[in-house]
Amino acid sequence: MYASTQQPAAQYGRYQQQSAMTASPGELTLMLYEGCVKFLKQSRLHMEEHHFDKASNSSIRAQDIISELMATLDMSYEISENLYNLYDFILRQIIQSNIKKDVSLLEEPINMMSELRDAWQQAVKLNRQQNSGMGAVYE
């Protein structure tokens, strides 16, 4: 049994909250990407199973994350405009998928957000290594 009387889900929720509060800005962005991919995949699964209410809820959570990513861009950098346009495209695809109940419209957003997540994960990893004084990349 558990040492605590709390349920595992409650303990995990507290752990996630603590992780978010102690994370660097880069790690927070990575968490957003991970969450978005997770919700998009959940939406796809629910749509395939014809659980459209659940698919819609997951889709809305992914949309909220993308909206947050858009709102936090520093538009003084050229790449931010490109990212904004990419996020806008992804957001529109998710909305259309939700409206039309068309699972195929989620494939591109899932792939794009997965690629962004993977790239960001590498950037966070490199940043950690540089900050810890490690020069070489070891896995």
Q: pLDDT tens across 26-38, in order?
A: 999 999 999 999 9
Number of helices and strands (H, E) in the chain? 5, 0
**List of long-range contacts for 50-56, beta carbons under 8 Å, 24+ apart:** 52/101, 55/98, 55/101, 56/98
Report the C-alpha gap between 87 and 70 in whole angstroms. Answer: 7
> How large is the average pLDDT for residues 41-58?
98
**Three-state SS at 134:** coil
In a domain? residue 1: no
Q: What's the pLDDT at 138?
A: 43
Confidence at 53, pLDDT banded by 50, 70, 90: very high
Q: How many domains does the chain have?
A: 1
Q: Is there a domain that residue 61 lies in? A: yes
Look up the domain containing 40 and give its range: 25-128
> What interhelical angle do 52-71 and 78-100 show, nearest 10?
170
In a domain, 53, yes or no: yes
Confidence of residue 69 (pLDDT cuts 50, 70, 90): very high
Is residue 67, in this structure, part of any structural domain at all? yes
User: Would residue 95 count as lying in a domain?
Assistant: yes
Contact residues for 114 (Cβ-Cβ < 8 A; gap 6+):
37
Beta strand spans in the chain (E): none
At 110-125, the pLDDT tens digits run 999 999 999 999 999 9
Give 139 or 43, the one with higher predicted confidence: 43
Q: What CATH number does the domain containing 117 carry?
A: 1.20.120.340
Asked if residue 135 is part of any domain, the answer here is no
pLDDT classification of 127: cutoffs 50, 70, 90: confident
Distance, CA of 6 to CA of 35 (rounded, Å):
24
Residue 93 has pLDDT above 50, yes or no: yes
- Tell whether 122 is covered by a domain: yes
